[in-house]
Chain A
């Protein structure tokens, strides 16, 4: 069976929605089933999943860290949409320098990219699945 390629889009933020949890459970089973994840794209409020500063209580799931671990373990490219990220204060060192901001917080191994990443997923991936928030 040729694996199918998936692009996963997360638009719901951790704690404000279940999107990161549903998406991760789905993503794990995708790999277990032998399918491929082309990329993960965080859009809108979903960019908050990429904050290195999220600090839930130690007995709760740290969704950003859990996702970062999954992405790193499986070498899956993941990006936050730059427009959504800047607006909501998810910043890498390049943008920190560009805008002279007091800090940066983009969680590794995520990168920042434009909506072109999402368009590419539409064109190249066999499946595009969205995990939306509750709005």
Chain B
């Protein structure tokens, strides 16, 4: 992670692209200390992808994890849509990747 020249607002990153999609990598590179990542839709495949290192502050949508039968590989806490709503309320800066 690169250091920036000005203090950054904690940002919620909502990512729906799977590992291998160029935007997946761009998103991970953009995450700074204090940010939160939420994996939705195909992005939850990152949980099963051994080549991916996920940031510590990362959650995955349970509905998408269950759909893809990824439970056993779950490397991160899963959340529901109500929790996603709560995260969006808590973050004044949100990037949908």
Direct contact of A and B (CB under 8 A): yes
Interface of A is mostly: mixed
Quick check: A22 and B85 within 8 Å, CB to CB? no
Quick check: B89 and A4 within 8 Å, CB to CB? yes
Quick check: A129 and B96 within 8 Å, CB to CB? yes
The answer to whether the Cβ of B76 comes within 8 Å of any Cβ in the partner chain is no
User: How many angstroms from the CA of A126 to the CA of B88 in the assembled complex?
Assistant: 10
Quick check: A33 and B82 within 8 Å, CB to CB? yes
Quick check: A30 and B85 within 8 Å, CB to CB? yes
Quick check: A29 and B16 within 8 Å, CB to CB? no
Q: Smallest CB–CB gap between A20 and chain B, Å?
A: 11
Size bracket of the A interface: 20 to 34
Contacts of B88 in A (CB 8 A): 6, 127, 129
The answer to whether the Cβ of B63 comes within 8 Å of any Cβ in the partner chain is yes
Contacts of B65 in A (CB 8 A): none
The answer to whether the Cβ of B17 comes within 8 Å of any Cβ in the partner chain is yes
Contacts of A130 in B (CB 8 A): 96
The answer to whether the Cβ of A96 comes within 8 Å of any Cβ in the partner chain is no
Q: A4-B89, A22-B41, A25-B63 are in contact. Are A129 and B14 (CB under 8 A)?
A: yes
User: How many angstroms from the CA of A32 to the CA of B80 in the assembled complex?
Assistant: 13
Q: Smallest CB–CB gap between B15 and chain A, Å?
A: 10
Q: Smallest CB–CB gap between A3 and chain B, Å?
A: 9
The answer to whether the Cβ of A18 comes within 8 Å of any Cβ in the partner chain is yes
Quick check: A129 and B82 within 8 Å, CB to CB? no
Quick check: A26 and B89 within 8 Å, CB to CB? no
Residues of B within 8 A of A (CB): 14, 16-17, 40-42, 61, 63-64, 80-82, 84-86, 88-89, 92, 94, 96-97
Since A131-B96, A134-B17 are in contact, a sample of 19 more A-B pairs with Cβ atoms closer than 8 Å, ordered by chain A residue number, is: A6-B88, A18-B16, A18-B42, A22-B16, A22-B41, A25-B63, A26-B85, A29-B80, A29-B82, A30-B85, A32-B82, A33-B82, A33-B89, A126-B92, A129-B88, A131-B16, A132-B16, A132-B96, A132-B97
Residues of A within 8 A of B (CB): 4, 6, 17-18, 22, 25-26, 28-30, 32-33, 35, 126-132, 134
